[in-house]
Every structure is written in structure tokens, then in C-alpha cells.
Amino acid sequence: MVVEDQNLESGGSVRVVIKGESHLRTVLWGPVRWIKMLAKELHWSFVFGVVSLYGINQGLGGSLGRVATEYYMKDVQKVQPSESQALTAITKIPWIIKPLWGILTDVLPIYGFHRRPYFVLAGVLGVVSMLFISVLGNLHLYLALLWMTIASAAMAIADVTIDACTAYNSIKHPSLASDMQSLCSLSSSIGALLGFFMSGILVHLVGSKGVFGLLTLPFALASVVGMVFSESHVPGFSYKQVNQKFIDAGRAMWRTMKCSDVWRPSLYMFISLALSLNIHEGLFYWFTDSKDGPLFAQETVGFILSIGSVGSILGATLYQLVLKDHPFRGICLWTQLLFALAGMLDLILVLRLNLKLGLPDYLFIVVDEIVSQMIGRLKWMPLLVLTSKLCPHGIEGTFFALLMSIDNAGFMTSSWLGGVLLHVLKVTRTEFGNLWLAVLIRNVMRVLPLFVLFLVPKGDQNTFKLPGEIMGEDSDSDEEKEEARNLELASLVHSADRR
């Protein structure tokens, strides 16, 4: 290193070479240093929890579960595309009631801990539900749907618990809010990349029910996070105060939601998601069953979806490097427009125009997935940052869960409306004549949220904050509240020593 520094000062030609090597080292070691920085500022247990839950549980496990569920509904339960679209949306109900999980983690500690027991509980529920689906033969459709919903609830509980820590740290370290969301998104995207890559192969080798059995491992990891997660113990909690704490939390949520800086962007997020009609099941059946379609094999579907995850990683990286300092409204405008335009690639594919242009299905759909996932991630990232900044002190987990439940309600509405659209247009397991029209209607609907873009704040992503009276900054006892909230993520070793 010393020799390089001396050469750097000696001559022009040598300086160019060493600068290139230094830049290469920066590119290679930049992400490592970034993660180390977050671990130092926020504690390693938080980073471990994010990577484990977003990356492995939701990213890898969620992608495996998505492909397994699609083939399970199509090949095992043999339902129609519109029915599959509606039924799988029901499994998302636990994500809509996330405020319930959030308020439990905020006001109801178990054995003196606010977070650790809920991670463990989530893992146990997930493992049990996946075992039932994978082991029981000839499981009735509605019983299978029940166990899928329980597994979804397990993932939602783990998600809202780590979200509470993310929201708290976003308020405590506002300059790191974008970095935390980038870590969450990159972990999720990389996990999804690996999960989708393996999904088709695993479905082919062990079947969709076998994949459900393998999903017990990501859920078991959630319990491991609960066991090692660093959280100080709160002794002497009075459970007689729980009712009052629920009431106080409800009042604080209502007071915050009445603030125009909160309900306006929340309404925009719901509208933006609800009007982006989800017709994925119709496209999936066309990809795999239609004689006029590509007739992709299971391994091919998994590989294509994994390549799409590369687009998601590119989107998260592009946001982190270029777009995280831009105003909310401007970035929402352009990403929504690009989101609508990206949907036209599906229309070209369904109409088989790509073949007339000499582009094979496999190549074209890979490009389609990359572009769609990248733009979708760019569209989602600023909304996540905005959501984390709308949470007041004291009820970070509860309110973040409330805002995310609004988003999930938008997703479920999108799925139901998409299912209705497929049903009305008579898109079935064997009939895909009107699928192109469903894609076109979906693309047009994606433009409509631009008419309510005024609901999004104009502020910069790094400096935007709620009024002081909403955030509780007028209180003189913030430090005492922070200590009582018990989210400092102190060293696990030190916690063990104190016990």
C-alpha cells in the first residue's frame, strides 16, 4: 500500500493505473464496508435480522413458496386462473391486519421482551403449517388454503417485528433511512434470485408439496433470529396496563393518521397499488399450458423468475447510488410512467409480436422480467422510505405496520380486481383469447395514479419529517422513552453478562 501511494504521486501514467486499481477495490469492497458501517451504527444483530428475515425467510422462502403455490394450485388442486388469483389473495389477509401484530410487539412483551418471542412464535407457526401441507395427502382445497394463510401470518409477524426495528432506527438515524431500506431490498432481491433459480428445479425434482416441506428451514431461521437477537430485558412489566396501552396506542395512531402529511401519501400508495391490476395467474397459465404460448417447463419458469430478480437487484442498486436523494414526487412520477410502459412488453409477448420481430420467447421474456422487476423496485423504494418516515415515536412498529397494511390492502385489491377481470374476459385454463385485452386494460390502469400524484409530498427523501407535535419531539423525556422502548440493540454478550 505504501508503494502504491508513492507511485500515485510520482507520475501521470502510473497514477492512472493505480487509480483504476483503487476504484476496483472500492467497487469490490464498497458493499462490505457499507454493511459493516450499518452494523457498527445499528448493531450487528439488526443487520443479521434483516438479512435473515428479508433475505432468507421472505426473499428465498417467499420466492420458493410463490412458484410452489402456483404449481400446487394449477396441478394439484386444479383450479382456474381467476379462482387461483382470488384464493391466493386470501392468504395475504394476515398482512392486512399487520397493525394487530405491530401493536402486540409494541405494548405486550413476553417474558420481558418485545421482539424476541415474536420471532420465535413466527418460526414455529411457519414450520408447523408447511409440514401439514407437505405431509398430508389429498388435502382439501380450503384446508390447504388455511395452512397457507397461517404460514403467511407467520411471515407477517416476523416481518412486522423487524419492521418495527427498522422504523425506529430510521427515526433515530434519519440519514441512514435510505441505506436501511436498500439493505432490506437488496437482501430480499438476492434471496429471491436464489429462490427463483432453485424453484423450478426443486418443483421438478420433489414436486410442489416437497418444496413446502423444504420451506420449514427458512421459517426455522426466524426462530433462530429470536434466540440470538440482542434486546435488553424489561423486568416487572405490569400486564394490568396492557388495556390502557392499547387505548393509548390507538389514540396515537388516530392522531397521526389525521395529519395531512400522513393520510395523503398513504392514500396515494393504496391507489397506486390497487389500480395496478394483478393478472399474473392468467399469464402464468398461458406461459405453461397454452398451445399458442411458450409452453415453458418448470425449470425454465424458475430460471426466468430468477433472472427477473437480477432486475430487482439492479433497481435497488440504482436507487441507492443515484435516486435516493431525489424529491418524492418527482421520482414517483417517472417510475409510475415507466411502470405503465413496461407493461407493454407483456402485450407484445401475448400478441406474439416478438416472433414477428425475430425475437424468441425465451429471450424476450427474460428482458421483460428484468425491466419489469427493476422498474417495480424503483417504484417501491421511495414509498418504503416515505413509509418509514411517517412513523411517530413510541408506536413505530404499530404505525409502520398500519401503513404497510394499507399497502398490502392495495396489493390484495389489485389481485381481486385482476381476478375479476380475468373472469369477465373468460380467461380460463384452456382459453386465452382475451388475455391480450386484460394486459392492455392493466397497462392503462397503471397510468391513473398520476392524477392523484399531488397527494405525495414534494420534500427531499433525506430531510422530510413529520411535524414535531406528531413525532413527539416536544416532549422533555425522549431519552427516558427510548430507554423504556428497549430497542437499543445492545450487545448480546453484555446482556448475558447482566443476567
Q: Which of 221-230, 392-401, 406-415 has the lowest mean pLDDT?
A: 392-401
| Cell matching residue 271 | 391507489
| Residues whose CB is less than 8 angstroms from the CB of residue 18 and which lie 6 or more positions away in sequence, other chains included | 4, 7, 8
Cα 149 to Cα 92: distance, rounded to the nearest angstrom? 7
- Residues in CB range of 211: below 8 A, 6 or more apart: 64, 65, 67, 68, 199, 202, 203
Q: What is the pLDDT of residue 395?
A: 66
User: Among 226-240, 302-316, 348-362, 401-415, which is the least confidently predicted range?
Assistant: 226-240
- Per residue in 16-56, pLDDT (tens digit) is 333 344 333 333 345 667 667 776 667 677 778 888 898 89
Report helix, strand or coil for 261: helix
**Phi, psi of 392, rounded to the nearest 5 degrees:** -80, 160
User: Which residue in this structure is represented by grid cell 382456474?
Assistant: 80
Question: Which residues is 113 bridged to in the sheet?
Answer: 110
Task: Give the residue-averaged pLDDT of 422-442.
Answer: 90
Average pLDDT over residues 481-497: 35
Burial (CB count <10 Å: 0-12, 13-18, 19+), residue 21: exposed
Residue 72 CB neighbours (<10 A)? 23
What secondary structure letter does DSSP report for 276?
Answer: S
Phi, psi of 80 (to 5 degrees): -75, 160
d(CA 193, CA 365) in angstroms, rounded, equals: 16
Do 442 and 343 touch, CB atoms closer than 8 A? Answer: yes
b/e map 24-53, b = 16+ CB within 10 Å = eeeeeeeeeeebeebeebbbbbbbbbbbbb
Q: Tens digit of pLDDT for each residue in 50-78?
A: 888 988 998 899 989 988 998 898 888 88
The confidence band for 461, taking pLDDT boundaries of 50, 70 and 90, is low
User: What mean pLDDT comes out for the span 298-311?
Assistant: 80
Among 396, 353, 136, 381, residue whose Cα is nearest residue 256: 396
Report whether 308 contacts 196 (CB < 8 A): yes
Cβ atoms of 225 and 115 closer than 8 Å:
no
Cα–Cα distance for residue pair 462/325, rounded to 1 Å = 6
Q: What are the structural domains of the chain? A: 30-462 (1.20.1250.20)
SS3 464: coil
Predicted local distance difference test score (pLDDT) of residue 276: 87
CB 41 within 8 A of CB 176: yes
How many Å apart are CA 342 and CA 443, to the nearest integer? 8
Residue 488, C-alpha cell as written in the block: 437499543
- For residue 337, the model assigns a pLDDT of 92
User: Is the confidence at residue 240, as pLDDT, over 60?
Assistant: yes
pLDDT of residue 15: 33
Res. 173 pLDDT band, cuts 50 70 90: confident
Query: How many angstroms separate the CA atoms of 42 and 169, rounded?
Result: 7
